[in-house]
Chains A and B, each alone.
Chain A
């Protein structure tokens, strides 16, 4: 249908009416949106279509790579020397702590053996650089320069020097996409270091986090450190995540707990992708739980 009001004469073959075709296409798009956003059915289709887009993306990222490499190349010598000195200082401190850590780890393993407890979770890690923010303006995601070929898998935690910054949500052959903790659709199970209270930390946008599902009378105060609890079977337990900044107990049956991330979530450049060396056995079927 045209806005000037002239219908094309029927001697020209034009297929179904434009409005009918519009409705068909819009219906297909809405079905795709629901299938993707609500049920995550479309990863197969995404992978198939990325065969078309991938070469184009690689070609398009070349100018950005050139600019980044040039910037690195022309970085002044003084900057590099200062950074080097700084890194040496850090490494001395870290090395000393590492020596103690190894000793403690051996001692811990020995004690656990004596008590016949299961061993602590074994971890593996991959160093990676953050290349750039993901282009989707509605989500807080970044792109890493390591992908499936280097052993990155969806679900692994991503940490910087101070704590967790996010989780790998999509893996491409040589890149991967990390959803930051501050994204509104991202959550991470945590526990309080001081007393082991468990909860789930959600992103609320604006760089802040909120701990939900904690009853109002639970002992939790501003300043408490939160670490990953590892109860999801995906994250490695014990990674530092956030500090509690404000607790509001008047709101509801549940406390409103605002937290601030420890890691420089929106600023870090060098990160580690951390995962379990082996996944825990699947949980028992629910029928056994009912028996209790």
Chain B
């Protein structure tokens, strides 16, 4: 007997424009100039991981690559740095997709945390190889704050799918 997939009640199909809108909003949040405050969440990585887990057939490596490049350009990082990390992140999130959704939200966050950390480790490795300065351990705080935001974010991003298109009191869901 299979356990019930309690974390996903029956939802409306996602609209692709909403996925891309949320990714662009995350990109905008990332561009807010905050200097070098450590521990700010990586919004794009988080939203990307979310959609890769939710919609593994539609959002994947291509989106990771494109938004990674936009991050690199916007933040003035090395070209391909975020793209590489996000491509790997998208692949891992896609392959975890069927497993993760069986868990409640906070355990999903625990699944995603190592993926986010691995993406950051990749970026650090790339930049250190290129001769940059180690940014300090507080750099990795960003993954933890992102993982903390997983639960509220999944509620927020699934909100449009909770509502039925037309109200019908006799319908069971």
Q: Do A and B come from one complex?
A: yes
Interface residues of A (CB under 8 A from B): 1-4, 6, 14, 18, 21-22, 25-26, 28-33, 35-37, 42, 45-46, 49-50, 52-53, 56-57, 59-61, 63-64, 131-141, 143, 170, 177, 183-185, 205
Answer whether residue B83 sits at the interface, using C-beta atoms and an 8 A cutoff: yes
For this complex, 14 residue pairs linking A to B, each with C-beta atoms less than 8 Å apart, are: A2-B99, A22-B87, A25-B87, A28-B83, A33-B130, A50-B74, A61-B32, A61-B33, A136-B75, A138-B77, A138-B132, A139-B132, A177-B76, A184-B133
Q: Which of B132-167 contact A (CB under 8 A)?
A: 132-133, 135, 139
Given the complex of chains A and B, what is the CA–CA distance between A3 and B124 in angstroms? 26
| Residue pair A136, B76 in contact (C-beta under 8 Å) | yes
Answer whether residue B46 sits at the interface, using C-beta atoms and an 8 A cutoff: no
The minimal Cβ–Cβ distance linking A93 to chain B, given in whole angstroms, is 33
| Residue pair A36, B80 in contact (C-beta under 8 Å) | yes
With A33-B78, A53-B70, A60-B30 known, 5 other A-B pairs at CB within 8 A are A32-B80, A36-B80, A50-B74, A131-B33, A135-B33
| Residue pair B32, A49 in contact (C-beta under 8 Å) | no
Contacts of B99 in A (CB 8 A): 2-4
| Residue pair A29, B65 in contact (C-beta under 8 Å) | yes
Given the complex of chains A and B, what is the CA–CA distance between A183 and B69 in angstroms? 23
The minimal Cβ–Cβ distance linking B40 to chain A, given in whole angstroms, is 10
Contacts of B68 in A (CB 8 A): 29
The 3 closest A-B pairs by CB, nearest first: A32-B80, A36-B79, A60-B31
Answer whether residue B27 sits at the interface, using C-beta atoms and an 8 A cutoff: yes
| Residue pair A138, B73 in contact (C-beta under 8 Å) | no
Q: Assuming the A-B contacts A18-B91, A138-B133, are A30 and B73 also in contact, with contact meaning beta carbons closer than 8 angstroms in the complex?
A: no
| Residue pair B132, A53 in contact (C-beta under 8 Å) | no
Given the complex of chains A and B, what is the CA–CA distance between A37 and B132 in angstroms? 11
Interface residues of B (CB under 8 A from A): 24, 27-36, 57, 60-61, 64-65, 68-70, 73-81, 83-84, 87-88, 91, 94-99, 124, 126-127, 130-133, 135, 139
| Residue pair A140, B80 in contact (C-beta under 8 Å) | no
Contacts of B60 in A (CB 8 A): 18, 21
Q: Assuming the A-B contacts A4-B99, A33-B126, A138-B133, are A18 and B94 also in contact, with contact meaning beta carbons closer than 8 angstroms in the complex?
A: yes
Given the complex of chains A and B, what is the CA–CA distance between A49 and B31 in angstroms? 15
Contacts of B78 in A (CB 8 A): 33, 36-37
Contacts of A143 in B (CB 8 A): 33
Contacts of A184 in B (CB 8 A): 131-133
Contacts of B124 in A (CB 8 A): 138
